[in-house]
Structure 1
Amino acid sequence: MRLTQLDVVNQCLASMGETPLNSIDSDHPFVAAALLKMKTTNTQEQAKGWWFNTDYITLTPDPNTKFIYVPADAINVNPDDDGNALVIRGRRLYDRFRSSYEFTAPVSVSLVRELPFDDLPMLANHMIAARTVLDFQNDYDGDAEKYNKLGGAYQQVFTTLRAEHIRQMKSNMLNNPSVMKTLRQIRPMSRYTRY
């Protein structure tokens, strides 16, 4: 079942022993805190870079300023070329090796984007909800037993989502360039050795 923001707010309220709401009521003392916690959690969890929020794109510098502006929903950027040290500063791309915002050529990157909560895959939707409730409960109640139970629920959905990420990315250790290099250096053993 896909969760809505109201579902997450009601889960946060339930962790405090509060009755559920029929709609998001901004006058309720805990609603604003729950929504802020969900927004923060959404950014933190998506910053890890999952299969559903990572785009492989080429960013082109502005012809006048030579700046590369990143999209507003960008959380992180990873250059395809390992030799570059590119980071996002403000809304522009910055090259730490050259100490410059100016670029003369397009740059290929993997861009981690922040998607709205309602647009997430169902497993990610549930993971962010579980983490939101966990953090909310820790901030407002702090009951160790509740926290441990909520932590277990978060860990379970995180593990499931991580397994799905591995399946979607078709990750294979043997396709890693450093592993392939090491495997090429291994020579088969001979049954007969010289003394």
Structure 2
Amino acid sequence: MALPPLNYVPVSELDSVNNLLLSIGQSPVNTLSVPGVKDVSIAQMILHDTSREVQSKGWSYNVDTAYPMPRDVDGTIPIPANALQVVPDDGTYVERARKLYDTGNRTFTVGVDAKVTAEVTWFLAYEDLPQIARKYIERRAGRLFQAQIVGSQILHQFNLQMESEAAAEHDRYQLRSRTTNFFSSPAAINRIYNRR
């Protein structure tokens, strides 16, 4: 039997779901739309939830700083649908009801000249993430998936080790991709080291 050709591109969502299925002894699938195979939809849901959890911590690849927050026609500033976290640069604004709220004036409405910027943490599609992030998310999701479906302590320890290695690689990537140090940005360094 001939082996399938090697795929030299970053893992896709389908690849990761198949790796989760293989971790519990299930056969891989050709598509994520497989009727009647409950494990596929569970694996995809856990992968999606894990991706949201990991990305919500804010990394170099999914955070924009000084991002302009445009005013809507009704005078409010809506939070973009795929924003996981919005931290306005002006401390008088906070997120409330998926809009920015001006705590100083106690209103959602801002003036026409208001130029509000914020640090925005985005929830990116799986294929938009760098390979290193996909691998970390896949390993973390694999541990959770196996724990929910099989519950084997031996597999749990094995998956935990693989997740730890992927997390270390992911953290190294962060340190290389951000130009921060302990003296110029201790808060940023603290965020990197206190992710889990």
**TM-score (normalised: structure 2):** 0.80
* Offset of residue 89 of structure 1: 2.7
Return the alpha-carbon distance in structure 2 between the equivalents of residues 40 and 120 of structure 1: 15
SS in 2 for 1:142: coil
1:9–1:67 CA distance, 2 compared to 1 (3 A): same
- Corresponding letter in the other structure for 2:133: A
Distance 1:132 1:126 in 2: 10
Q: How many residues align?
A: 175
After TM superposition, give the deviation of residue 58 of structure 1 in Å: 1.4
1:107 matches 2:116: yes
Distance 2:95 2:158 in 1: 38
**Distance in structure 2 (CA, Å) of the matches to 1:177 and 1:116:** 30
Identical-pair percentage: 26
Is 1:176 matched with 2:185?
Answer: yes
In the alignment, what sits opposite 1:191? Answer: none
Question: Compared with structure 1, are the counterparts of its residues 61 and 22 closer, same or farther at alpha carbon in structure 2 (3 Å cutoff)?
Answer: closer
Aligned counterparts of 2:144 and 2:129: Cα–Cα separation in 1: 20
Report the equivalent of 2:27: 19
From the superposition, tell whether residues 16 and 177 of structure 1 become closer, same or farther in structure 2 (CA, over 3 Å).
closer
Question: Equivalents in 1 of 2:56, 2:86: separation in Å?
Answer: 10
Q: For residue 111 of structure 1, report the CA deviation from its aligned partner.
A: 0.7
The residue type paired with residue 66 of structure 1 is G
Matched, 1:3 2:17: no
Mapped contact 1:77–1:88 kept (Cα < 8 A): no
Deviation >6 Å, runs of 4+ = none
What residue is the counterpart of 2:87 in the other structure? 78
Instruction: Give 1 or 2 for the bigger CA radius of gyration.
Output: 1
1:141 and 2:150 correspond: yes
8 Å contact kept, 2:69–2:118? yes
Question: 1:99, CA displacement in angstroms?
Answer: 4.7
Q: What is the TM-score when the length of structure 1 is the normalising length?
A: 0.81
Q: Which amino acid aligns with 2:79?
A: V
Q: Deviations over 1:125-151 (max 9, x none)?
A: 111111111111111111111112111
Using the TM superposition, give the Cα deviation of residue 115 of structure 1 relative to its aligned residue in structure 2, in angstroms: 0.8
Give the letter for the 2:141 counterpart: T
